Amino acid sequence: MLRRIPKKRALAAVAAVMGIAVWQAPSASASVPLQYTTHRYVGSAVAAQYLASEPDYRAVLTREFDNVTPENEMKWGTVEAVRGQPDWSGADAIVEYAQRTHKTVRGHTLVWHSQLPDWVSALPAAELRQVLRDHITTEVKRYKGKIRAWDVVNEIFNEDGTRRDTVFHQKLGDGFVADVFRWAHAADPAAKLYINDYNIEGINPKSDAVYDLVKTLRRQGVPIDGVGIQAHLSIQYGFPAQFRENLTRFAKLGVQTAITEADVRIPTPPDAAKLATQADYFGRLWDGCHAVSRCVEFTTWGFTDRHSWVPDVFPGEGAACLFDENLHPKPAYFRINP
């Protein structure tokens, strides 16, 4: 059941100069934390190393959010890079932090073709199926009762709506998706189970494929509870068409939706106009989620530009988060937290 927290009074503006020209940011300490402004879970992806080593990072995360998603610490390539030698240290640290600070956890991710150990890809089909089942069962049971929702399968479609040609699809066929949801449910019947993907914010061939798959799985009695919409956006492209309509059609299937990895990258360096457009995009994501009752979560992929993945993947773009490198809130923060 969603947290029901009354909205606090609006923040008072206190000037703090951001590291770019023109725009001045109110102090983060003067703001009402994001977690108190909504009836949705409000979260951020988090890295265990920064949580442990940067007190200011930890303080903002603790103040602003009531849900955390491990960035890499629960992926197969991290938890079992070498077969039979599991490493749960990072995942355990994030779950323990969440319990200590009364936050929920989104588990990310059980099945993904990327960040996959080489030894998994080399397995023959029968062994792969058994190893996949063991991996899901072991990880979900380890955190049983501590994970609110899992991204069970991640990024299984191409842009045209066809199945991505992964090792799982090659060796196990289309049916592996239903299997992994059943295995995860058996390991923790209380956790909400999601399919998660990018470029499915609006209505397009890829989101149509996700919609058709979810509809089919539901008809088959497969325990799928939701659709995770990553929402990695760029102001260089238009805002996704029919975003609210897309959320609504998934809701009509009887499943939840969640914004799971939101960020909005901009051409660097940022300026007031670019930041205003970024704020508009974040606001439209936030408002769209709040317009659909079954959209239950708004999570960003990191909250500070200090540690954003964007510049490494998209040269010439960055500044994609709600807070700048110095942890000052940006216009986007105040657009969703007026």
User: Domain 15-336, what fold?
Assistant: TIM Barrel (3.20.20)
**Annotated catalytic, 54?**
no
Out of 71, 73, 139, 155, the active site residue is 155
**Annotated catalytic, 64?**
no
CB 69 within 8 A of CB 108: yes
What pLDDT shows up at residue 338?
A: 74
Q: Where are the beta strands (DSSP E) in 268-330?
A: 295-300, 317-318
What pLDDT shows up at residue 14?
A: 24
User: d(Cα 153, Cα 257) in Å, to the nearest integer?
Assistant: 15
Q: What CA–CA distances, in Å, run from 54 to 85, 144, 210, 325, 328?
A: 29, 29, 38, 13, 15
Contacts of 163 (CB under 8 A, 6+ apart): 156, 157, 169, 174
φ, ψ for residue 74, nearest 5 deg: -110, 5
Instruction: Output the tens digit of pLDDT for each of the chain's 338 residues.
Output: 223 233 332 222 222 323 333 333 444 444 578 877 778 999 999 999 999 999 999 999 999 999 999 999 999 999 999 999 999 999 999 999 999 999 999 999 999 999 999 999 999 999 999 999 999 999 999 999 999 999 999 999 999 999 999 999 999 999 999 999 999 999 999 999 999 999 999 999 999 999 999 999 999 999 999 999 999 999 999 999 999 999 999 999 999 999 999 999 999 999 999 999 999 999 999 999 999 999 999 999 999 999 999 999 999 999 999 999 999 999 999 999 97
Instruction: Give me the residue label for tokens 């930890």.
Output: 58
For residue 76, give both structure tokens: 């197969």
CB 19 within 8 A of CB 325: yes
For residue 15, give both structure tokens: 């000037």
How many residues make up the chain in this entry? 338
CB 99 within 8 A of CB 146: yes
User: d(Cα 91, Cα 94) in Å, to the nearest integer?
Assistant: 5
Question: What pTM, to 2 d.p., does this model score?
Answer: 0.91
What pLDDT shows up at residue 225?
A: 98
Out of 64, 139, 201, 261, the active site residue is 261
Query: Cβ–Cβ contacts within 10 Å for residue 175, how many?
Result: 8
Q: What CA–CA distances, in Å, run from 227 to 137, 210, 250?
A: 21, 8, 8
Q: What CA–CA distances, in Å, run from 217 to 92, 177, 186, 296?
A: 32, 9, 16, 21
What pLDDT shows up at residue 31?
A: 59
Q: Where are the beta strands (DSSP E) in the chain?
A: 15-17, 24-26, 41-46, 67-70, 104-112, 149-154, 192-197, 226-229, 232-234, 256-267, 295-300, 317-318
Kindly list the domain boundaries of the chain, sorted by start residue. Answer: 15-336
CB 149 within 8 A of CB 191: yes
